[in-house]
Every structure is written in C-alpha cells, then in structure tokens.
C-alpha cells in the first residue's frame, strides 16, 4: 500500500483547500454509530493520518488507537493529540500486514479512502477478517470509500493543479478501466531557504471497488446489518443514479 511522505507536510493544507470539513465528517460518522454509540468507549482508527478525526473523537471522550503506515503523518498526529496523554496510542503499521493483539474493540474506523488504497482483494479480505475478529459482539466497523463513479469519471485520466503560498502541486491520474486501478502521479514544488524551488514526487495507487465487491467481502468476513449512506458533491442539487462520489458503510459483528 502507498505511503505518504512528502505529501504529509502539506496534507492538512491541501485538505483545507479541497474543502474537506472534518466537523461534518465527524458528525456523519457519529450518526452512523446510531444506537450503539452509547456503548462505545474505545476506537481503533485505521489510517489515522495526521490525526484530524482522531482528535475529534478524543475530545468527545473516546480512547483511540491510531494506526498509519506513514511515520511522517504520525508525527503530525502526535503533536495534535499530545494533550490527551494515555487516551491515545499511535502505531506505525501497514494495515495490509497488521499485527494487533487487542480484542473486544468497541469500534473500528477507517476514513478517507484507506480502503481504496488496498488494491488487492485478498489483502482487503484479510483486513475485513481482522476487523471482524477483533471487534466485540455487536461492535461497529465504519468506513468510507471513493465510489467507482468518482474514480472512473471524475479522477480518471485528469490532471489537477493546486497552489498555495507555501507550495504548488500537480496531480496527474491514469486509469485502467479493465482492472479498476488508478495511478496517481503527484509533483510537489516548494521554495527552499535559498529561494529555489525543490521538486518532490510521489506515486499513489487506488482501486475503484464496486458496491457489490465490498458487500461480498464484508459478508464473507461475517459482518451483518450492512448500512450505507451516499455523498454527492455539494454543487450537485440531487443524487443522480450511481453518480455519488463517496459511500459510507456501517456494519456490525
């Protein structure tokens, strides 16, 4: 699975420019917790990144274990959540090779495309199996994915440009419709102390999973009560058939 390195330094600013509202994201997840919310005390967050959602759950009284592959992202998360002491544990691990001995977890959370980054269906099945095994009875697994429509129609074979006082970024995508894989080539330009621009490059890869594929993998792991909510771009006035950009899942053991 791809790892955020140079991108970690501008990640939060980029999310802000992109219009990501973590307050709304937190409220969405909280609503998906439903009646089980009152029974949830601890959360395992897979792909916690720089800790934006992590901090919101901590401030709401939950204990959180955050896992991420990127050391750089975790260092930022550590700074953001330091005030919460032993309520937060941050671990550097690849979720495709996760080693975690705590069971009877109340809730497992994975937000903002982590599932799409797992491009091998075998690895995704293993991760969903892990989540099922480590949750307590009736525990929740909540996650979201970028939809097949978004990846194949909005991101596919497009180039995006982002500029700020501190950096500029060029993001080029190449999509293979046959296997549903999108390769993302990211160039970041930042001015150094000498007034010269340095170029940093990263390559990321995601998979456009269909709803049927995700549903089948969840069922094979043993999950029940599969609930979904759909998100469409705020500029769209209505949810056209199959034109949603993000799908939120809430399932229980």
What would the pLDDT profile of 137-148 be if each residue is shown by its tens digit?
A: 999 999 999 999
Q: Which residues pair with 188 in a beta bridge?
A: 169, 200
The more confident residue out of 235 and 177 is 177
pLDDT recorded at residue 99: 87
- Residue boundaries of the structural domains of the chain: 6-147+209-252, 150-206
Over range 106-120, report the average pLDDT.
96
CATH class of the domain at 6-147+209-252: alpha beta
Indicate the pLDDT class of residue 117, thresholds 50, 70 and 90.
Answer: very high
CATH number for region 150-206:
2.20.25.110
Q: Is 212 exposed, middle or buried (0-12, 13-18, 19+ CB in 10 A)?
A: exposed
CA dist 51 → 56, 137, 162 (Å): 9, 27, 22
pLDDT recorded at residue 198: 87
The pLDDT tens digits of the residues spanning 224-247 come to 899 999 876 555 545 555 678 899
Over range 47-66, report the average pLDDT.
95
Closest of 41, 38, 39 to residue 58, by C-alpha: 41
């Amino acid at each position: 699975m791809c790892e955020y390195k140079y991108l970690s330094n501008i990640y939060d600013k980029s999310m802000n420019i992109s219009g990501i509202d973590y307050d709304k994201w937190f409220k969405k997840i909280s609503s998906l917790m439903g009646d089980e919310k009152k029974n949830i005390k601890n959360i395992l967050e897979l792909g916690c990144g720089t800790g934006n959602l992590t901090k919101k759950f901590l401030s709401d009284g939950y204990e959180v274990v955050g896992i991420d592959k990127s050391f750089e992202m975790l260092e930022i998360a550590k700074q953001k959540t330091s005030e919460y002491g032993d309520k937060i544990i941050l671990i550097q691990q690849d979720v495709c090779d996760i080693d975690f001995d705590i069971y009877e977890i109340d809730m497992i959370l994975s937000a903002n495309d982590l599932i799409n980054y797992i491009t091998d269906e075998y690895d995704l099945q293993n991760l969903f199996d892990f989540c099922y095994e480590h949750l307590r009875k009736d525990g929740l697994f909540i996650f979201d994915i970028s939809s097949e429509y978004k990846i194949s129609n909005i991101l596919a074979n497009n180039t995006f440009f982002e500029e700020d006082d501190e950096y500029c970024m060029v993001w080029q995508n190449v999509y293979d419709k046959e296997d549903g894989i999108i390769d993302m080539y990211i160039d970041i330009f930042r001015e150094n102390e000498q007034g010269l621009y340095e170029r940093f490059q990263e390559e990321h890869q995601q998979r456009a999973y269909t709803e049927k594929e995700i549903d089948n993998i969840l069922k094979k792991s043993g999950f029940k009560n599969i609930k979904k909510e759909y998100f469409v771009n705020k500029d769209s006035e209505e949810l056209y058939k199959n034109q949603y950009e993000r799908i939120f899942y809430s399932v229980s053991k």
